[in-house]
Amino acid sequence: MLNQEQIVYLNGEFLPLSQAKVSVLDRGFLFGDGVYEVIPVYGGSPLRLAEHLQRLENSLSGIRMVPPLDRQQWVLIFNRLIHGVDDQSIYLQVTRGVGTKRDHAFPLGIAPTVFAMCTPIAPIPASGVKAITVPDIRWQWCHVKAITLLANVLQRQQAVDEGCAEAILLRDGYAMEGAASNLFAVVDGVLLTPPKGNDILPGITRDLVVELAQANTMKFEERGITVDELRRAEEVWLTSSTREVLPVVELDGRKVCDGVVGPVWARMNGLYQALKEELRKGHSVFNIRELLDS
């Protein structure tokens, strides 16, 4: 829940959320012309901060923008926004800035709009969630974490309208990812996730789960998941920075894994929670050196 008096960052200033305002000529407002990041924070320490900032830089470069701040400057901002040790996430957004008129082409010489805030992370439902499948109607640059999210918004709302937590997106006979999450499925005892490319977001949680699977010698393959495999999967999971590793126990009204969370998920979730615990114990402040060396 957002608190209007919470302090947020906007264009060089720290101010109460209720006072943070941007122009109606901001290109984020007019065109969705910008990118964003969501970084989970446990015990006051961001998880995989360097990877998130690298993805931000990649997204900015994808839309022909240069990073408005360097990594050290981001860290200083986050340090002021993070409150206490409860689980929270940093939301940060960079738009191309405010033009003098509404014109699709980039205005020259404008400063980007930079916004950041912290939001509590709610615990995931340990008994799993329901999901639906929908056609993937998004554009062809899904690897860019763009704020232009209308397709994802419509897909997620369709899931909510049907009493579900997420929509899984289908394209050309394959299950790609969720409206705001990456996809894993256990099929014939093998953990699968689609390879990274322009058609999915390169999730930071996804990469972490892949590393955990490999480091713990779980049977794992990075390859496309066909719609048929998704429907007969022993387990289906969704991953994201705020939903962690979320088990799906019902898909399109049919039970997955008899409607309960599966053993492979339980193992992976244990590994993921242990990692969070390490972060909570190990770092009370940012490891700036590690970040700057990366």
Ligand X SMILES: Cc1ncc(COP(=O)(O)O)c(C=O)c1O
Q: How many residues bind ligand X (CB under 6 A)?
A: 13
For residue 53, the minimal CB distance to ligand X (Å) is 12
CA–CA distance, 119 with 90 (Å, rounded to integer):
7
Where would I find the beta strands (DSSP E) of the chain?
A: 7-10, 13-16, 34-42, 45-46, 88-95, 113-120, 129-135, 166-171, 174-178, 182-187, 190-193, 220-222, 225-226, 235-240, 244-251, 254-255
Window 20-39: contact mask with ligand X (x via CB under 6 A): ------------------x-
Closest CA to 277 of 118, 128, 85, 125: 85
The answer to whether residue 59 forms part of the interface with ligand X (CB under 6 A) is no
The piece of 117-125, 234-242, 246-254, 279-287 that touches ligand X (CB under 6 A) is 234-242
Footprint on residues 255-274 left by ligand X (CB under 6 A) = none
By the rule CB under 6 A, 240 interacts with ligand X: yes
CB of 154 to ligand X, least distance (A): 13
Q: What is the arrangement of strands in the sheet containing 34-42, beginning at the earlier edge strand?
A: 13-16, 7-10, 113-120, 88-95, 34-42, 45-46
Residue 88's contacts (CB-CB under 8 Å, 6 or more residues apart) are: 40, 41, 82, 118, 119, 120, 121
Catalytically annotated residues: 145
The whole-angstrom separation of Cα 286 and Cα 149 is 31
Among residues 7 and 291, whose Cβ is nearest to ligand X? 291
CB atoms within 10 A of CB 100: 8
Among 59, 155, 241, 269, binds ligand X (CB under 6 A): 241
Residue with tokens 């409860």: 86
**Measured from the CB atom, is 113 or 241 closer to ligand X?**
241
Q: Does 45 bind ligand X (CB under 6 A)?
A: no
Termini Cα distance of the chain: 33
Q: What is the DSSP letter of 85?
A: S
Q: Which of residues 175-214 bind ligand X (CB under 6 A)?
A: 177, 180-182, 201, 203-206
Q: Which is nearer to ligand X, 207 or 252 (CB)?
A: 207
Query: Between residues 98 and 165, which has the closer beta carbon with respect to ligand X?
Result: 165
Instruction: Give the shortest CB-81-to-ligand X separation in angstroms.
Output: 18
Give the shortest CB-217-to-ligand X separation in angstroms: 23
Cβ-based nearer residue to ligand X, 44 or 202: 202
Name the minimum Å distance from CB 16 to ligand X. Answer: 26
Chain residues in the site for ligand X (CB under 6 A): 38, 177, 180-182, 201, 203-206, 239-241
